[in-house]
A and B are shown apart, each in its own frame.
Chain A
Amino acid sequence: MASFVELAIPRLNTKVKVSTGLFINNEFVPSVGGADPITVYNPATEQVLCSVTGASEADVDKAVVAARNAFRTTWGKNVTGFERSRLINKLADLMERDAEILAQLECLNNGKPFKIARDFDIGDSVACLRYYAGWADKIVGQSIEIDRRTKTAVTHPDPIGVCGQIIPWNYPIMMWAWKVAPALAVGCTIVMKPSEITPLTALKLSELVVEAGFPPGVINTIPSLGSIGGAALAAHKDVDKVAFTGSTVTGRKIMEAAAKSNLKKVSLELGGKSPHIVFESADLDQAANWAALGILYNTGQDCTAGSRVYVQDTVYDKFIDILKGKAAQLAIGDGFDEKTGGGPVVSKGQYDRIWGYIEAGKKEGAKVILGGEKRSTPGWYVDPTIFTDISPNMKIVRFVNCIVQIFGPVLSVGRFSTEEEAIKLANDTTYGLGAGLHSNDQAQCHRVSSALEAGTVWINQYNLLYNNVPFGGKKQSGIGRELGSHALEEYISTKAVHWNYGEKLDWPL
């Protein structure tokens, strides 16, 4: 009864097969609730790739039941850390084995360049799984002295239970790995809702989950619209925790649903409007490279995208020139083209949204020094765009800069004169995900990195993350941390056991 599609990859003269059912209890099954199928697009051509089964609320219930059963019987406290480690490592090996196929699917569905998908997205994801596999048998509690004669106290790092995980479309495979790895390492079971825009790699990875040997129900995959599957998970009475990466707007809804249902634990990785500060002592060429990377990597579709660059006035003109040159060098095109450094944006919706902001900026008099013009050929393309001469009253600044993420390769550049001013400009946002500063003054680096209100601060660098360094947002950019040992905390529920073996209670008191 398994349904699947075969997707052609013309440039590579090959086909990739993907199951298109819902993945529950290690099987691909049809929907029981009659939700509409999900149409999946190729953003480089605007053509339909295929459709996959969409999950209804009833399907979500089924998946949660499967995850709960697994947690009670074959997973959770019923499996050793050593065994969890073995399985997660096996999954990593399989991902590595199938890197080419996964990269092809990722490129086809998301648009990002094939080589980047294979070497970075998938390479980092494999390493992420291996990193957490290494933690699985090292999750310890404490034993705590009370007094020697009558009592002993210990803590148990229990797995929280059934976790709903909702991931976005900008790094489909990597976001999947970041979520499943720590949850599995600790012993939780998962109901994963990949983005309805990019469900294909999550479905393909589900096949590897079976091959690796995970018991049925440990991971379940239910592509669906956020308003159906996402909402159902967030409100579900039998889901113990929800982890979400996506927009701040949706993050609020998830938290509200958690509060109104069963007070499930919530971790959120939300948006950002991350500032890049270039001081006069910086190596300008390097700073321009990192700034270009910061806004153009993944075609700007990155929660930490450095979308605001502030340059010290003494080097402003010089820097703008260099930066413009760097940005212009990036070739945006079809992900399967060897020359491409950045792909299209992921969907029509994103395409329209980004162009809406660009048009608004132009209308309000911001100066476009690069890009800003639509292509006439097919594909949801946005070329690198740089705005300067922005003033605080402009919509693009007040509303766009500080409140709304554009989530595209659109950069606004402003100037400052003092360090205090730079810090104030950088922190003047409700977000707090990432920030970068470029300076050769060591003391300045310490002062500024300390003052920036962001969960990740890069000094003389940008964008690069590592599986063993924690990542997450301050302020309205999120709750909790991913990566590093910190991610494990999000999936652990500590139980304290007070074992009395010698104290007798006198009654009445």
Chain B
Amino acid sequence: MTTFTHEFDTPVFKKKVSFPTGIFINNEFSAGVNNTTIDLVNPTTGQVVAQVSEGMPADVDRAVAAARKAFETTWGLNTPGFDRGRLLTRLADLMEENMDELAALDAFDNGKSFMMARHGDVPFSISVIRYFAGWADKNHGQTIETTEAKFAYTRHEPVGVCGQIIPWNFPLLMMVSKIGPALATGCTVVLKPSEVTPLTALRMAQLIVAAGFPPGVVNIVVGYGSTVGQAIAEHLGIDKVSFTGSTVVGRKILEASAKSNLKKVTLELGGKSPSIVFDDADLDQAVKWVALGIFGNAGQACVAGSRIFIQEGIYDKFLEAFTKHATSIKLGDPFRADSQQGPQVSQIQYDRVMGYINSGKEQGAKVHTGGSRHGNLGYWIQPTIFTDVRPDMKIVREEIFGPVGVVIKFKDEDDVVRQANDTLYGLAAAVFTKDIKRAVETANRVQAGTVWVNSMMSGNVQIPFGGYKQSGIGRENGEAALAEYTNVKAVHVNLGHTL
């Protein structure tokens, strides 16, 4: 069985860290059935730095069996909501005691800056667990009046064993956003972290044991999408699958569910979100938010504002200021305090993003700034802005998932709303203006699950999040998340209707 051991000796974090990286089932770590491993590559160097145990479909079977047993005996509604909430609160407390280490592991694995992880990802993740802890004993059903002859009520029951497949862009945050509502409602979990960034999930496994969750409630199987992910999607013993990742894979998951047992499916997929800047926007603020929207997390965010629409009157001024801002972003090692952008997470992602940049050039778009690799070690890509684009170009239509924005000039509200909605996606949108009428009207007209007015990338666990159109099915965060893990049972008690 594998272990991750690393001596962190950096300006922002110093500690020797060591924990098992096996398959986590029934509160124990073990090697996978095949006894094979997956290499972890450090995206700042391109070097292999560790191994984790590789899970296979047979390991998924083991995990599902454990999750099912726990659901039927020690979890589900066998543990009252209040107690489920207490365990989640305990988990949040343990996460808080280990904030630095969790931030370091996400930074090490993903390449994002330690400071961003420590002051963004990790505190947000703790708030997610605390928030759902509070819901655990509040998932009420209803009593419903019909006639004197009937007593009708609904029970909100946990769906059962849930497969959860998460991506590599916000490893810890993605994990807690999935396990939070699932555990609160009483479901048990088989979690597949990304094989690219499994470390925080495996460290969380130890915290889950320490918090006191019974064995089998949370199980973690690291493996490839084509093996473990597919096994989860088509498993007959899994009642629901929740997936965050690309639209391409989302389709496969939905198809696998249809072909297997019609398990419930929620999907958080890709986006090509418009950032819309009107003439009357606060220019300075708009530049900063729009930049955050496309360059934050090295552009590796499903809500990235990757199509930037600037109204004619402000176009030149905005582009100038935006370019200046983009070129001032400090690319650097995640463990330097002043680093603002890390590398792309892997070779595959790097190649993909560079591929899009090249296609932009080939199709005749103008590289206004950036467009090249940064440095000659690791996977850094310069913040890149394309102008003179056409709606049919790949860089305008497809999700790039890197620090690459396309800038488009527009005339008026009708024009920009039409263009903004001209996409298969519908995850998010941002509107920058001081005119309240215009802000509300545009927000109303844009087909997106989240609309930001005068901000971007700003999330709170209490607010529901999810996609329109091909950006997803279902909602995470907020009370809405509970419904995704709840089976509503209606009970009709006959009080006097005889045949």
Contact = CB atoms under 8 A, between A and B. Distances in A.
Nearest to A135: B134
Contacts, number: 62
A133 B496 contact: no
B212 to A, nearest CB: 16
Nearest to B463: A140
A423 to B, nearest CB: 16
Given A137-B131, A138-B462, A485 B140 contact: yes
Interface string B238-273: 000000000000000000000000000000000000
Given A127-B82, A443-B495, A446-B493, A134 B440 contact: no
Contacts of B444: 148
Interface in A291-345: none
A135 B135 CA distance: 8
Contacts of A135: 134, 138
A131 B136 CA distance: 10
Contacts of B133: 134
B85 interface: yes
Interface in B417-458: 436-437, 440-441, 444
B151 A89 contact: no
B142 to A, nearest CB: 12
Contacts of B140: 485
Contacts of B462: 81, 137-138, 140
Contacts of B495: 443, 446-447
B138 A134 contact: yes
Nearest to A442: B493
A201 to B, nearest CB: 23
Contacts of A468: 81-82, 137-138
A189 interface: no
A495 to B, nearest CB: 18
B130 interface: yes
B479 A138 contact: yes
B431 to A, nearest CB: 14
A134 B437 contact: no
A67 to B, nearest CB: 26
Interface string A70-94: 0000000000011001100100000
A90 to B, nearest CB: 11
Interface string B348-369: 0000000000000000000000
Interface string A136-149: 11101000000011
B127 interface: yes
A498 to B, nearest CB: 13
A133 B134 contact: yes
Interface string B39-61: 00000000000000000000000
Contacts of A499: 436, 440
A469 to B, nearest CB: 10
A122 B339 CA distance: 50
A152 interface: yes
A85 B436 contact: no
B156 interface: no
B389 to A, nearest CB: 31
Contact of A131 (B82, B130, B440, B441): B82
B138 A130 contact: no
A481 to B, nearest CB: 14
A501 interface: yes
Interface in B477-499: 479, 493, 495-496
A191 to B, nearest CB: 27
B134 A443 contact: no
Contacts of B130: 82, 85-86
Interface string B295-315: 000000000000000000000
B86 interface: yes
A502 interface: yes
Contacts of A82: 127, 130-131
A443 B149 CA distance: 10
Given A82-B127, A127-B82, A446-B495, A134 B134 contact: yes
Nearest to A139: B462
Contact of A134 (B127, B135, B436, B493): B135
Given A82-B127, A130-B86, A138-B462, A446 B440 contact: no
A485 B85 contact: no
A82 B135 CA distance: 13
A89 B441 CA distance: 41
Contact of A130 (B85, B437, B493): B85
Given A85-B130, A149-B441, A446 B151 contact: yes
A134 B151 CA distance: 30
B134 A85 contact: yes
A152 B444 CA distance: 10
Contact of B85 (A134, A148, A152, A443): A134
B89 interface: yes
B138 A502 contact: no
Contact of B436 (A81, A138, A501): A501
A149 B443 CA distance: 11
A453 B89 CA distance: 39
A301 B238 CA distance: 52
A444 B135 CA distance: 35
Interface in A400-459: 443, 446-447
Nearest to B461: A137
Contacts of A152: 440
B127 A89 contact: no
A137 B444 CA distance: 26
B60 to A, nearest CB: 33
Given A130-B85, A443-B495, A138 B134 contact: yes
Contacts of A85: 130, 134
Interface in B390-414: none
Interface in B83-117: 85-86, 89
A446 B89 CA distance: 38
A148 B417 CA distance: 15
28 contacts: A82-B131, A85-B130, A85-B134, A86-B130, A89-B89, A130-B85, A130-B86, A131-B82, A134-B85, A134-B133, A134-B135, A134-B137, A134-B138, A135-B134, A135-B138, A137-B131, A137-B462, A138-B134, A138-B138, A138-B479, A140-B462, A443-B496, A446-B495, A467-B137, A468-B82, A485-B138, A501-B436, A501-B440
Interface of B: 81-82, 85-86, 89, 127, 130-131, 133-138, 140, 151, 436-437, 440-441, 444, 462, 479, 493, 495-496
Q: Which 7 A-B pairs have the closest CB atoms?
A: A134-B134, A501-B437, A501-B436, A468-B137, A446-B495, A502-B437, A137-B462
Given A446-B495, A468-B81, A499-B436, 13 more contacts: A86-B130, A130-B82, A136-B134, A137-B131, A138-B131, A138-B138, A138-B479, A140-B479, A152-B440, A443-B495, A443-B496, A501-B440, A502-B437
